Amino acid sequence: MNKLFQHAAAIFLIGASAANAVNADDATTSGGLKIKTADGKFEFGIGGRIQLDGVLFDEGKIEEVPPNTANATTSGVYVRRSYLTLTGKLYDWRFKFENDFTAGQSPNSIREMWVSHQVFGGDLIIGQHKPFRSIEELTSSNEILLMERPMLTNSLLAGGNRQYQPGVFYKRPINTDFGFFLAQASVYDAAHPLGNNAGQGFGTSERLTWLAYDANDMKLHLGAWGGIDDFGKGGNETVAPGSVTYAGRNSATQVLGPTQVIGGASGSSETFWGVELAGTAGPFFLQSEYAETRWEDTAVQADGRTIDRIEAVTVQGSVFLTGETKTYKKDRGTFGSPKVNSPIGAVELVARYDKILNQDRSAGDGVCNSAYAVAAPSRTGEGCYVQQYTVGANYYVNPAVRFMFNYIRGDNNVTGDNTSSYNARVQLAF
């Protein structure tokens, strides 16, 4: 299927290029390639990204567990993402098709696949898209501040494995005397993206952002989001633990970092909400989020309750040593990469703190057990949480090429583990 997709894309591009030569239409670029007819009724664009990562884990000390117990981590070099993105316009309908060849065979490898149309001053989107929640989740992987997203998006929202969902989406910009607002709403299949079992209930999420201040290189962004996923299991829930990766990447097909079970992650429904604050002041950037999710019908606790309330907080920031500032994406309500105009590129120092906590469980209590033979005795009864600290640097060679380096230290309060990792990336995006 992927080969068929590649051949079709190539034929489409060649055909569009030939039509362009005959009809003297415009071919433009702002990083990718876009072909547009003179009458503006048809457009076709092609883009892509390649991200090559390397991870080296520095195993921490597992306190008070049996001798010879070690972290199950594997280091390595791998292709993290390899996207091909097709976009276009047919009369007044737009479309996007995006495939990640690193993710396996189609349709599992499909990321975005939708058509959109202007309705009541906004965009109605039908197909597979990201539900509108969390500024960090909606930021493109080309433009995220650090190599890994925080635990808030990776683990809090249903294990972080539902970034793209099939459904119906709507977003509308609102200009006022009090600033720029963006209203976003989503209705989607609650459990699975394309290529997986369908019919697993419905979800809805809404997000409202406010660009309260916008003057030159200074911007202030506020936002709030929330929703509910009803998995439609009809009382026959099969509870699976929600694992949190706390010191870097964890993927069965790439590298394995340490994980900790933090709470039930497949109850009958999930209610979630969050708030966000972000802004720029010249070369300085700050972004923070707090979110909470409530899982129903999870594993029974000692007092008979079957509810897991899990909260997460993340604070991250950066400074450009070369004076650039981050751009603001009004169509997404997120911040993006800087405009790199200097021949020497742009250098950015970055840092983040994030934490995820189960309010209803403690270490060694039911779900929140150690992944090892026994829970660390002195940790039993303490808080069920993990946290991590990340520092690093980004070097933007030009608008298409970026080098990244991150050092991550993860602290597991359940076991006392403090594994670290060294992470590097070469990124090409157009």
Query: Which residues are CB-neighbours of 394 under 8 A, at least 6 positions away?
Result: 145, 318, 346, 347, 348, 350, 402, 403, 404
Query: Which residues are CB-neighbours of 262 under 8 A, at least 6 positions away?
Result: 155, 242, 243, 244, 310, 356, 357, 358, 367, 368, 384, 385, 386
One digit per residue, the tens of pLDDT, for the chain of length 430 reads 445 445 444 434 444 444 444 444 555 555 668 899 989 899 999 999 999 999 999 877 655 555 555 566 889 999 999 999 999 999 999 999 999 999 888 788 899 999 999 999 999 999 999 999 999 999 999 999 999 999 888 766 654 456 788 999 999 999 999 999 999 999 998 766 565 555 567 889 999 999 999 998 999 999 999 999 887 665 444 445 577 889 989 887 899 888 888 876 556 788 899 999 999 999 999 999 999 988 887 767 666 677 888 899 999 999 999 999 999 999 999 999 999 988 899 999 999 999 999 888 888 776 787 666 555 666 777 888 999 999 999 999 999 999 999 999 999 888 888 899 999 999 999 8
Q: Residue for token digits 């949190």? A: 244
Residue type, 260: Q
Nearest to 360 by CA among 405, 271, 296, 424: 296
Instruction: State the DSSP H helix or E strand holding residue 195, giving kind and residue range, or none if neither.
Output: none
Contact status, residue 39 vs residue 24, Cβ threshold 8 Å: no
Q: Which residues pair with 32 in a beta bridge?
A: none
List domains and CATH numbers for the chain: 54-83+122-429 (2.40.160.10)
pLDDT of residue 262: 83
What's the whole-model pTM score? Answer: 0.87
pLDDT of residue 143: 96
